[in-house]
Amino acid sequence: MKTPHPPTRLPNVGTTIFTVMSALAAEHGAVNLGQGFPDFDCDPRLIDAVSQSMREGLNQYPPMIGVPALRDGIAAKIAALYHHRYDAGSEITITAGATQAILTAVLAITGPGDEVIVLDPCYDSYVPNIELAGGVAVRVPLTEGSFRPDFAAIGAALTPRTRAIIVNTPHNPSGTVWHASDLQALAELLRPTEVVVIGDEVYEHMVYDGVAHASMATVPELAARSFVISSFGKTYHVTGWKVGYVAAPAPLMAEFRKVHQFNVFTVNTPMQHGLARHLADPAPYRELPAFYQHKRDLFRSGLGGTRFRLLPSEGSYFQCVDYSAISSLGETDFCRWLTAEIGVAAIPLSAFYGDGRDQGLVRFCYAKRDETLRSALDRLSTL
């Protein structure tokens, strides 16, 4: 029997480093600080809210755009935090996680040959999303060392074919956050253009040291041209639920929904109703910065006794370190060695760059129980 071999749509894509390192961690019994997911449970009240929804018979298809109560809650939350009011009926859509939301936004506005700017290093789904849409990814490096936006470089990358720019803040993998001044600079840069912003803001509630999250929604000029994307999985410690949302002006959302209705159609009903009930109480997400700042500080304090050089972690739940005082191995080989010999898994930063550049940097995830972090620190203390 002959199996057809059609041309691949993604010739440069293989198994992700996250899958590889998680498998290696399991093989060696290592503490997995590689893949970005918590090892602790969510609020039991959220489980109860979803269970109640199931028992109430809320188990059939919801509206394509999402359960009204959840969209209303999101609109109210964004208005309270960022002082921008989205219409829940025409400007908010519930998605099967943020990754689906980003793909759908790219597919909705990008055609063959259109250019989309991504800021390197970046989350690994961005470029394949652009390529699936027939677009061209234009990689603009963040400032080396600080991972801050280089607006001169972004401006130089803008062309008549630029359709969008993807902005991720707080940033994965570096933990850098954009500030209000950065948003103003972006608004000024894009003012004479038709460029759309795809704002990946899944770590919006993980910004530390008293700093407020700089959402695209806070600047009216940017809100008017942005898809703002967030994730309940990140906010409520339920990454496996894969529920997120998008907020955008009605004309952009209309295009988004054209794609959404055919690549997902709807997102599971009882979880939407449960999330709507849980979202009514702002305390869980308002307490999140202090919750994760404690973990960040615990982890950074423990690493202070090692030969790792710590980079800043202003947001997200990631800590990047320079290991050049420990080893001359390349990043991927160092991560394999660290997992097999020291018993702690990390992710090489080179995995987030288009050119795979090797700077002697790796990323740890500190979204773990305190005892997990202490176990990892005990092992890393030998370095």
Average pLDDT over residues 298-320: 97
| Cβ atoms within 10 Å, residue 257 | 18
Confidence tier at 336 by pLDDT (50, 70, 90): very high
Domains of the chain: 17-42+286-380 (3.90.1150.10), 63-282 (3.40.640.10)
Structure tokens at 299: 């982890």
Do 132 and 259 form a contact (C-beta atoms < 8 A)?
A: no
Average pLDDT over residues 128-136: 97
| Cβ atoms within 10 Å, residue 152 | 9
Q: Is 25 helix (H, G, I), strand (E, B) or coil?
A: helix
CA distance 221 to 186: 10
Q: Which helix (H) or strand (E) holds 255?
A: helix 250-263
pLDDT for residue 343 is more than 90: yes
pLDDT for residue 15 is more than 80: no
Confidence tier at 162 by pLDDT (50, 70, 90): very high
pLDDT for residue 149 is more than 90: yes
Average pLDDT over residues 143-166: 97
> Residue 20's pLDDT is what?
86
pLDDT digits (tens, 9 = 90+) for 94-108: 999 999 999 999 999
Average pLDDT over residues 10-32: 88
CA distance 161 to 29: 49
pTM above 0.75, yes or no: yes
Among candidates 352, 357, 351, 360, which has minimal Cα distance to 329? 360
Q: Which amino acid is at 283?
A: A
Q: Report the Cα 344 to chain-centroid distance in Å.
A: 23
DSSP E strand boundaries for 88-242: 92-95, 115-120, 136-141, 162-168, 196-200, 226-231
CA distance 275 to 283: 14
CA distance 73 to 281: 10
Paired strand residues for 139:
118
How many helices (H) and strands (E) in the chain?
15, 13
Lowest mean pLDDT among 22-26, 321-325, 375-379: 22-26
% of the chain beyond a pLDDT of 90: 93
Confidence tier at 178 by pLDDT (50, 70, 90): very high
∠ Cα 209 144 14 (to 5°): 100
Q: Is 260 helix (H, G, I), strand (E, B) or coil?
A: helix
pLDDT for residue 14 is more than 80: no
